[in-house]
Amino acid sequence: MTEARPQQTSIKKILPLILATAIFMQMLDSTILNTSLPSIAKDLHESPLNMQNAIISYVLTLAVFMPASGFLADRFGTKKVFIFSLVLFSLGSLFCSMSQNLTHLVISRVIQGVGGSLMTPVGKLALIKTFDKSELLKAMNFAIIPALIGPVLGPLVGGYMVDYLSWHWIFLINIPIGILGIILGLKYMPDYKSANVDFDLKGFLIFAAASLLLSISLELFGDMQNISPVLFVFILGFLFLYYYYKHAKRGGNPIFPLNLFQVRTFRVGIVGNLATRLGISSVPLLLPLMIQIAYKQSAVTSGWIIAPMALTAIFGKSSVIKILDRYGYRQTLMVNTFIIGTLICVLAIPNIHTSLYWFVPIIAILGFFNSIQFTSMNTISIADLRNFQTSSGNSLISVNQQLAIGFGIAFGLIVLKLFENSDLIKGEIHNAFRYTFLTVGILTIISGFVFRRLHISDGKNMKSKED
């Protein structure tokens, strides 16, 4: 392993900020478009229903190219690949703002997606290789906050920009953030490379096909009128995953080695991330929908109701290290998942005549515990990986998180539509949302038992040093 580490102290101070910039840009961009689609559709003379292609194209590009991020970083160096990804993402944002029709916008979103698929995993990889295990929790804790703030601020910022400026600004906002990231990256991003790199092209294509098919099925799950083709694509995606498993088992140098799953903390982290995000990822979508559809409020109002989640996430960041140091990963993740699931269930209590302000304290508390959950899950996943496993393990974690968020959103919508078409709601759409929160919350509580597989001592090597 060759590495460049100029001004190590400065790098350790700035690197979490660089990663935070990348995560914020990507998470904001993933959600800011949602409230702006009708306005963009009108300007481009398209049906708002067709505009979903602008979202889907970005998500699919992430799913396809994320598996290659570890190899590219090892081959060309973390610094070059990270700077390239920021340039590509910023250019894609500029092209999006200049789009004259839907085709231009979709192509520009693909360019953005290629940049986004490399940006966060490679930045995170540099962080993992720079910090000792005892320092990593604190660094990751700082960088992960934008992942909590982005989805909350996205719809709110998008709503205001469309109302008071124009839809072009939802893409132009990325450019100054991208330039800041490039400047900081050129000066402070370390350049880690691997001497022996052999790209598993066949494995990449198989895994990319699996990710692509699963992502397509998740996007199509919203259309429950004809479920058969969606299930076919979904099952085909899992068949490709099995095909990849058989390919990786034959040996060689697979893009995601199976020995990653022999590391128990990595295995629990991956499964736990997937299971618990079914509930966690659905709330930022379901609550604004309920406020707009059932309570007949505006998109901006719904954005303000969930905004406290971002604020309390910052407070959670300052507490998580002390909590993990005191209680350990096993107890923290089990109890924390139970609390999150219970809070999601509590969202089902208010009826249609209850004030909207009733939701604010619940959402605020939820943001605090979400912050603890994400930091804990992300750090325990990499706690026991060896140096030669960090590139592939980090890439797989990134792909898993992307799919987990997609699964959560799709799962929430499926449950909502099932209740909407049932006799339980008695013609009141608000009741469909209440039963959905209750179902999702209970399943989140149950998902916490995944973390029972952790040992009490797991993550001790991540224990932070006293300042």
Average pLDDT score over residue span 266-280: 87
Residue scoring higher pLDDT (149 or 370): 370
Q: For residue 301, what are its two tokens?
A: 């109002």
pLDDT at 148: 65
- Reading the block at residue 354, the tokens are 């209850």
Residue pLDDT, tens place only, 360-381: 899 889 988 988 898 888 888 8
User: How many helices (H) and strands (E) would you count in the chain?
Assistant: 18, 0
The pLDDT of residue 463 is: 58
Q: Is 219 a residue whose pLDDT tops 70? A: no
Dist. CA 336–CA 149, nearest whole Å: 19
> What is the DSSP track for 409-452?
HHHHHHHHHHHHTSSTTTT-HHHHHHHHHHHHHHHHHHHGGGGG
Phi first, then psi: give them for residue 2, nearest 5 degrees: -105, 140
- 66's CB contacts (< 8 A; 6+ apart) are 117, 118, 121, 211, 395, 398, 399, 402
**pLDDT of 141 strictly over 50:** yes
The 8-class DSSP code of residue 193 comes to B
d(CA 274, CA 404) in angstroms, rounded, equals: 5
| Average pLDDT of span 279-300 | 79
Percent of the chain, pLDDT > 90? 10
pLDDT at 467: 35
Which letter does DSSP use for residue 159 in this model? H
Q: What is the mean pLDDT of residues 272-287?
A: 84
pLDDT at 35: 61
For residue 340, the model assigns a pLDDT of: 94
Query: Residue 261 burial (CB < 10 Å; 0-12/13-18/19+)?
Result: middle
Neighbours of 165 (CB within 10 A): 12
The CATH architecture of the domain made up of 1-198 is Up-down Bundle (1.20)
Say yes or no to pLDDT of 197 above 70. no
pTM of the model: 0.77
pLDDT of residue 180 exceeding 50, the answer is yes
Phi then psi for residue 428, to 5 deg, are: -105, 115
pLDDT at residue 6 above 70? no
- Which residues on adjacent β-strands are paired with residue 2? 193
Torsion of CA 444, 450, 454, 459, to 10 degrees: -40
Tell me, what's the pLDDT at 438?
92
390-444, pLDDT tens digit by residue?
777 877 887 888 778 777 877 887 888 888 777 766 667 888 888 899 999 999 9
Two structure tokens written together for 241: 């995953």
Average pLDDT over residues 228-257: 83
Half-sphere exposure of 168 (CA within 13 A, CB side): 11
The class level of CATH for 257-467 reads mainly alpha
pLDDT category, 15, cuts 50, 70, 90? Answer: confident
Average pLDDT over residues 222-238: 75
Which of 63-77, 83-97, 192-206, 257-271 shows the lowest per-residue confidence on average (mean pLDDT)? 192-206
What is the reported pLDDT for 89? Answer: 92
Look at residue 446 and tell me whether its pLDDT is greater than 90: yes
Supply the pLDDT for residue 464: 52
- Identify the pLDDT of residue 73: 84
Count other Cβ atoms within 10 Å, centred on residue 225: 5
Q: Do residues 144 and 320 touch, judged by C-beta distance below 8 A?
A: no
Listed ranges 28-42, 138-152, 373-387; the one with the highest mean pLDDT: 373-387
Residue 382: pLDDT band (50, 70, 90) is confident
What average pLDDT is seen over the chain? 80
pLDDT of residue 212: 82
- Residues 51-75: tens digit of each pLDDT: 666 777 787 788 788 888 878 888 8
Question: Would the pLDDT of 1 be above 50?
Answer: no
pLDDT higher than threshold 90 for residue 335: yes
| CB distance 374 to 144 below 8 Å | yes
Q: What pLDDT is attached to residue 445?
A: 93
